[in-house]
A and B are shown apart, each in its own frame.
Chain A
């Protein structure tokens, strides 16, 4: 790659940094109206729901069943009360065993 590649990386770095940095620094010390603050506190759970579905079902191209098994395993382990690391390792283990046999 030529020197343009480095300019491109710098450009990518800047436009990735801006949306990360502006809210964190500009909102520092600001008291937001309760309704806005409430909405912002809801965001993590909403975004988690949207990040999980439907992507978790698509982890193996053309095989929704594979993703479904992983999703069921992850939710089952999590509802049983396991911590995050166990949910991750457990889901990987279930799918490894599944793909070894099928």
Chain B
């Protein structure tokens, strides 16, 4: 009886592991060319575990940026996780705080997406940890492998595998969109706002995501609350 236990969590997280594989591999490779030892590169993946920030850190290291600025930048890039973990808290079962403070470390854009789009209410901690650990394992192992072999995938596969995480997001979103106008509206409005920020370059990626998701979620919630009020029904 492991309907929503650790193993089924690992199964649900396997698409993240596939998606992390090319990104972690490239990170390990780039870290090597930046001059990091294998231990230094892998330690960053083990301790920081945040794809975008790690790439930016490498970039800043090569330009000789003050390490303190790199840390500050990391914080700014990850502010969006405040919103994600607040949302994830609604989805996970009630649990002792020390346990939650441990698994919080493994919340990423991807593990959040897999967990938050589950149909079930109140996901067990063991299921969540299963999803998160298979993703983390892939990230850490393939960072080391990338540094070790110091070569990348064949070019045609490299380009094609760049779609992996986005295809996963699509695969998570679409089933919820079917027959649910609210979900379609939420995704569409946020996508349009984020595209606007991208092309006008008003906000950096991290902030753009945060603002787009918040504005869309609040707008749609207000619209639906008003509709429910007009119909005099209970939401």
Choose from B167, B209, B220 the contact partner of A92 (Cβ within 8 Å). B167
Choose from B19, B71, B87 the contact partner of A44 (Cβ within 8 Å). B87
Asked whether B8 is an interface residue with its Cβ less than 8 Å from the other chain, the reply is: no
Asked whether B1 is an interface residue with its Cβ less than 8 Å from the other chain, the reply is: no
* A11 → chain B closest CB, angstroms: 4
Contact A1 B186 (CB under 8 A): no
Choose from B15, B70, B174 the contact partner of A8 (Cβ within 8 Å). B70
Interface SS of chain A: helix, strand, loop or mixed?
helix
Chain A residues within an 8 Å CB radius of B37: 1
Contact A20 B81 (CB under 8 A): yes
Interface SS of chain B: helix, strand, loop or mixed?
helix
In chain A, positions 28-73 with a C-beta closer than 8 Å to chain B are 28-29, 32, 34-35, 37-56, 59-60, 66-67, 70-71, 73
Contact B164 A24 (CB under 8 A): no
* Interface size class, chain A: 35 or more
* A6 → chain B closest CB, angstroms: 8
Give Cα A77 to B167, complex, Å: 10
Give Cα A61 to B169, complex, Å: 20
Contact A1 B43 (CB under 8 A): no
* A33 → chain B closest CB, angstroms: 12
Choose from A45, A59, A75, A90 the contact partner of B176 (Cβ within 8 Å). A45
Give Cα A38 to B220, complex, Å: 10
Chain B residues within an 8 Å CB radius of A92: 160-161, 163-164, 167
Asked whether B213 is an interface residue with its Cβ less than 8 Å from the other chain, the reply is: yes
Contact B159 A99 (CB under 8 A): yes
* Interface size class, chain B: 35 or more
* A99 → chain B closest CB, angstroms: 4
Give Cα A96 to B158, complex, Å: 9
Chain A residues within an 8 Å CB radius of B86: 23, 27, 40, 43
Contact A1 B36 (CB under 8 A): yes
Identify the interface centre among B80, B85, B176: most chain A CB within 10 Å of its CB: B85
Asked whether B168 is an interface residue with its Cβ less than 8 Å from the other chain, the reply is: yes
Interface, chain A (partner B; CB < 8 A): 1, 4-13, 15-25, 27-29, 32, 34-35, 37-56, 59-60, 66-67, 70-71, 73-75, 77-79, 82-93, 95-96, 98-100
> Can you list 28 pairs linking A and B with CB atoms under 8 Å apart?
A9-B43, A12-B71, A13-B47, A15-B72, A16-B78, A17-B105, A19-B78, A21-B85, A23-B86, A24-B89, A24-B92, A35-B221, A38-B235, A39-B217, A42-B217, A42-B220, A44-B116, A45-B183, A46-B186, A48-B169, A49-B190, A50-B216, A52-B166, A54-B198, A84-B171, A88-B164, A88-B167, A100-B156
9 more CB-based (< 8 A) A-B contacts, given A15-B75, A70-B166: A16-B75, A20-B78, A25-B100, A48-B173, A52-B170, A70-B160, A82-B171, A85-B15, A86-B171
